[in-house]
Structure 1
């Protein structure tokens, strides 16, 4: 059976669009990428500039097996927003999609962590419990990319130096920054261009009693450099952003990337190699990948 993928790109009406989707019962979505910008046509610089300024309105991706439900949604949105929302529709095979979200998810259990929502009653044992506010924001621990990234961080980011710094780009729920805190990173910064995501991240900070700076926008200034940068977002958004991430990485630092399936990893690997980054480690979770790249030292 095919899955219907609906891509909704707001044009100055994102808050109203999200509110309307919630009114109609569509509370789960994934932040999309900017396929409508063509790097070959010279749009990449404008894309990066908009992303850094926080003025970019990322599309929302909704998925359903029920075509009639999606058709009704499209009719409603066209009537409500007209040309202010660009709507794209496609069918995709569910062979990849159905592997992304873990069914019956009750909590992510790794070697060091137990990540769950506020209702989670399971005893974490000796593992560090991380509580997350229930939210559709990407990064709940239910998605395979988040699981792969947490396991990669356990392997590559344990026992940091006392002054080591960590940047989480596109933080969503803030889960990766929380993991970094418990791994020992005292200098933390998390960014997101979406105020709603930052609100969720703040709630999760309070739930866990772990404060760290949150930046609304996307990236800190170019002169702020970090030992580790994590970025778990969808391609080609990630591909466009690689150069800016590499600039903010200290020599010898690690760039941790996730948000992609084995089926579309090659463009990302090629772009990283072109930037002179060296692949150090990979983690695969049900076909979804997290990669660690090292920036050569001086």
Structure 2
């Protein structure tokens, strides 16, 4: 997603606090109404998500837009709509308040004692031997605080500490946080893809900030058009995607995981996790571990069937066994 520059102009903040399982639907409504990319924030352990859009306007947002927002939210399930409509907030932010609002939600956070994620304004020093990733908060998803991103970072650290780092692929890179952490922890090669060119630009800027831009290959491409740059596959693939995309793209994702490699899936509402698990187990994966936080559940799968490893044929990757197209 595109990031807004922190200029001297005033900003308007329109936010709705919703149950986590309604957040994606409300975010879609807000993006359609205001033509601006929404931000979703959820505190660890909470079942409530705050969905926010920021509008760089000097005048209060048109009342017709707020009315349209309420009408569209009202079309949701009755229980969800009632809860959402009570929590619509419109407020004017001064430039300094814009900066402060990010500081409230983005504080330094550690993973496994070996990785520190912190914002550019933080003066916190790393512990001896600790790897540091510095991020500038834009509107691209991924600061490490959301349960789904945090799980991916924990797994990146866990596999790094458990053995030799492998080739790494970040699917749906957003801010680039996972790919940057992987590169700084020694994974190589590292590739990161996202269908949103603005997200890729934001990720590349963060990679430069961390001096790892030469260690990561970013691509504005979806899984349907992504091809590994050599016959190898990846020892660790992180896919922080919604359950519908994980299901739709399961065969393409499976082809990218090396035999005995790991696929980390997150971004899944707890009530939909079982169907994602079943779909990947049918492709030869075994769930190694999972974690539930609030409404979200994430999992790590190991590819156990050797026949699922892809082999190159020219520039295409043909899959033998069950997961061939």
Q: TM-score, normalised by structure 2?
A: 0.63
Contact 1:250/1:295 (8 A) holds in 2: yes
Q: Which moved more, 1:105-114 or 1:131-140?
A: 105-114
Q: 1:282 to 1:202 in 2, by over 3 A?
A: same
CA deviations on 1:21-44 (whole Å, 9 max, x unpaired) are 45xxxx5335xxxxxxxxxxxxxx
Shift in Å at residue 121 of structure 1?
1.9
Aligned to 1:198: 200
For 2:285 and 2:74, how far apart are their aligned partners in 1?
Answer: 35
Aligned to 2:300: 292
Shift in Å at residue 213 of structure 1?
0.5
Aligned to 1:228: 236
Shift in Å at residue 288 of structure 1?
2.8
Give SS of 1:292's match.
strand
Aligned to 2:39: 29
For 1:288 and 1:151, how far apart are their aligned partners in 2?
Answer: 15
For 2:62 and 2:245, how far apart are their aligned partners in 1?
Answer: 25
Shift in Å at residue 117 of structure 1?
1.4
Shift in Å at residue 147 of structure 1?
1.1
Runs of 4+ with deviation above 6 angstroms: 74-77
- Which sections of structure 1, spanning at least 5 residues, go unmatched? 31-60, 78-85, 95-101
Aligned to 1:138: 141
Shift in Å at residue 239 of structure 1?
1.8
Give SS of 2:122's match.
coil
Aligned to 2:268: 260
Shift in Å at residue 104 of structure 1?
4.3
Give SS of 1:256's match.
strand
Contact 2:119/2:134 (8 A) holds in 1: yes
Shift in Å at residue 161 of structure 1?
3.5
Shift in Å at residue 138 of structure 1?
1.3
Contact 2:106/2:119 (8 A) holds in 1: no
Shift in Å at residue 225 of structure 1?
1.9
Matches within 5 A, 1:65-214: 72-73=64-65, 90=76, 91=80, 104-110=105-111, 111-126=113-128, 127-158=130-161, 160-161=163-164, 164-211=166-213, 212-214=216-218
CA deviations on 1:260-295 (whole Å, 9 max, x unpaired) are 233331111111111120111223444533311011
Shift in Å at residue 181 of structure 1?
1.4
For 1:125 and 1:2, how far apart are their aligned partners in 2?
Answer: 36
Shift in Å at residue 141 of structure 1?
1.4
For 1:191 and 1:29, how far apart are their aligned partners in 2?
Answer: 20
Contact 1:105/1:142 (8 A) holds in 2: yes
Shift in Å at residue 116 of structure 1?
1.7
For 2:75 and 2:161, how far apart are their aligned partners in 1?
Answer: 43
Aligned to 1:63: 51
For 2:75 and 2:118, how far apart are their aligned partners in 1?
Answer: 33
For 1:70 and 1:243, how far apart are their aligned partners in 2?
Answer: 45
